[in-house]
A and B are shown apart, each in its own frame.
Chain A
């Protein structure tokens, strides 16, 4: 058991190293930061001086090693774009993304499970078919288009909801929250729907198929034979047994939500880490890109690891291995 955990931990570390290498390698090729950092009037000496100051004149291996060394200490360097420590910027931007991810995650899970159950129970009803068809539309259009269409409808035409930003935020320590103001809550609605729609569809379809599997199991038939009310069977017995895979998938989708936030944040000018990343790509802000990718990697690896360990805890059969 302990050996298993240690092995998984080491593997995770290796994964992170590889991700770091790949991410780092990419940044060497996406463009020359020096060009975007110096203005129209600049001289060859300026360029040389800057390359030296940034360490861009060193060898690839040296640069990578330095990157890893500093990254372990939480030092991702200074953003070329903002001239501030990357860690500080990430910390400042993280609340926006995490709040957005939490709300869209909650929407996706709540509606996903509810609709999944309903469509499984009434699998042949027209309502269920309608929901299933509508959910497919959600995954048949690119996210950015859904976001822009929502803005067009609810901000421009109807004027109900804001089209950009977080509204007013309240500062609680280092955390800024949009949950405590009306404009902050309103500003969350459209981006959260845009971001959560895809995951909702996914969870709904997963719950539906799991439910349909479970509902044909023997113990459900026995429960029916015993005359238990349908509601009890559906929600107590059947749902409980579908939840394990749903929780797994949902946990992993949380990471996906944060990654997909790149697009939603770009469309809605949501001041989170995704927008920061896209800005960084356009500006060739290498330290920010590196830190962001490492952050995403750490998150995914951590979730993966947690899920693995959870399984070991749940399933005794795996422990003997």
Chain B
């Protein structure tokens, strides 16, 4: 017995030493910081960027978006609509993929994961709402049946991570963590994925350490040069930049626009940028008879299309780009970013006219003497959100609109928009489009507020005919007819001046220049693609 013990100890020690030599300290470690931390490790509990980004390192979806936002294979190698049934999508799964604990990845795991993500606690269930049934006819085939043809099904799966069924069952994690009710599950603190990195340790809001998965299926396809990741959230922007400037971290994901120059000029550091798939714009309560935050009794000045046009003209998008955003924004004339299906250059043209034209429109609408109104704004959500709103206050003053700015943290701000009680009349929104399709924008922002539709539409705008057109997009498989319908809806939105478009944000990553990486269009870095010099 003692011999066995000693032997075991010796093997253990050797393994430890080997492990020590296998990963030379620091050489391939990437120290990564951003403002916020992932909220949970349960991949289906929270659909928000920091959480999804961390999951992307440890786990994988069936299909994934690459650097050009194209959908490419991940755990599925091929996919197509079934020849026999237009309501069924068939996914061929990758062979020989193993989870971190050594278990094989099979179609039953995929079925389990999708069913799990359709459960009541899931934060992804809306994306899978059209699914009727998921089947696993054999180990490498997955069939998804929807309640009607769903042409954009793969686009809904790019952040939908695959879990190991046995692992989940063994650890009592078959149900999605009820995050909202404060449920604490094994899957919220541990992860067993197929991804390029394994979880080593995690202290929420403090530090998370990942190490490369030596058995990763894609190690020949991807560089996989980063072998260890240390992830630290640093909230205070100045501290975060200081950490990069002083070389304490190698990569910060959110460089404040004013610090781009300093970071870029610092020896050994580099800034990489790319337009983000997110539009920033202002909403106006145009549907109500009267609004609370103005000084006009009995009427709603925003109900006048001329007033909305005047406000649209008064926003000096170029000045905001030059001064507030330091060229890190692309002024826009429509509330869809260019990557979205349905966007056209024509739509994106900035409104034409001078400040005099705007004043004339105000005159025409009967508001030549102006009016006062409150602008609600977040101060911790979008790039320079509060400063943009402040600038808009000045611009509105030019056409006689006296704006009171009320900026607050997002937790207190968003309820004003989503409560549906008309708590805000003039507000800022940023909208990302994870499906890269206009339908997503219409469902949330244009459709009347009705059940699951229009939950972010605080404009009071409602047109049953338009609503019907929006709803028809979901099952329209004739791509051309569908695109035509999208075009018609956009024309209407633009004609109504439903929203005042401002710009699309630009993503700015600050990196050590030894790190070669392209900015991810969804701001979710995939470290397996990073190269180190």
Tell me the A residues contacting B by CB distance below 8 Å: 30-44, 46, 49-50, 53-54, 77-85, 92, 148, 151-152, 155-156, 159, 162-165, 266-269, 271, 275-276, 279, 282-284, 287
Contacts and interface: CB of A to CB of B under 8 A. Distances in A.
Interface of B: 39-40, 46-48, 123, 126-127, 177-184, 188, 203-207, 232-236, 238-240, 242-243, 245-248, 380, 409-412, 414-415, 418, 432, 444, 451-452, 455-456
A10 B46 CA distance: 45
A150 B289 CA distance: 55
Given A53-B178, A148-B238, A284-B412, A164 B455 contact: no
B246 A159 contact: yes
A152 B242 contact: yes
Contact of A266 (B235, B410, B418): B235
A84 B239 CA distance: 27
B55 to A, nearest CB: 14
A37 B40 CA distance: 12
Given A42-B455, A163-B248, A164-B242, 8 more contacts: A33-B411, A50-B180, A54-B182, A81-B39, A83-B177, A83-B184, A164-B240, A275-B205
Of B46, B181, B207, which is in contact with the most chain A CB atoms at under 10 Å from its CB? B181
Contact of A83 (B48, B188, B243, B415): B188
Contact of B411 (A152, A165, A267, A282): A282
A151 B248 contact: no
A49 B121 CA distance: 10
A32, A40, A85, A92, most chain B CB atoms within 10 A: A40
Contact of A163 (B188, B203, B242, B380): B242
Given A35-B418, A155-B246, A268 B127 contact: no
A84 to B, nearest CB: 5
Contacts of B178: 53
B239 A268 contact: yes
| Nearest 8 Cβ contacts at the A-B interface | A78-B182, A31-B412, A53-B181, A36-B411, A163-B242, A271-B206, A41-B126, A155-B246
A54 B182 CA distance: 9
A274 to B, nearest CB: 12
Contacts of A36: 410-411, 414
27 contacts: A32-B412, A35-B418, A36-B410, A36-B414, A40-B444, A41-B127, A41-B444, A42-B455, A44-B455, A54-B180, A79-B182, A83-B40, A83-B179, A83-B182, A85-B184, A148-B238, A151-B238, A155-B243, A155-B245, A162-B248, A164-B234, A164-B243, A164-B248, A271-B203, A271-B205, A282-B380, A282-B411
A76 B285 CA distance: 41
A151 B40 CA distance: 31
Nearest to B125: A41
A77 B182 CA distance: 9
Contacts of B380: 282
Nearest to B432: A40
Nearest to A51: B180
Contacts of B181: 50, 53-54, 78
Nearest to B431: A40
Nearest to A160: B246
Nearest to B42: A83
Contacts of A50: 180-181
Contacts of B432: 40
Contacts of A271: 203, 205-206
B243 A163 contact: yes
B239 A159 contact: no
A269 B249 CA distance: 13
Contact of B46 (A39, A46, A164, A279): A39
A279 B246 contact: no
Contacts of B183: 78, 83
Contacts of A155: 242-243, 245-246, 248
A314 B414 CA distance: 57
A27 B12 CA distance: 52
A48 to B, nearest CB: 11
B48 A39 contact: yes
A32 B242 CA distance: 33
Nearest to B178: A53
A283 B47 CA distance: 16
Given A30-B412, A50-B180, A43 B248 contact: no
A156 B246 contact: yes
Given A31-B411, A269-B235, A80 B248 contact: no
Contacts of A38: 123, 180
Contacts of A43: 126, 451-452, 455
A32 B188 CA distance: 23
Contact of B204 (A40, A80, A82, A284): A82
A92 B46 contact: no
A152 to B, nearest CB: 7
A269 B232 contact: yes
A95 B134 CA distance: 48
Given A41-B126, A41-B127, A276-B205, A267 B412 contact: no
Contacts of B232: 164-165, 269
A78 B177 CA distance: 13
A32 B246 contact: no
B246 A39 contact: no
Contacts of A162: 246, 248
A35 B239 contact: no
Contacts of A32: 411-412, 415
Nearest to B183: A83
Contacts of B415: 31-32, 35
A39 B123 contact: yes
Contacts of A79: 182
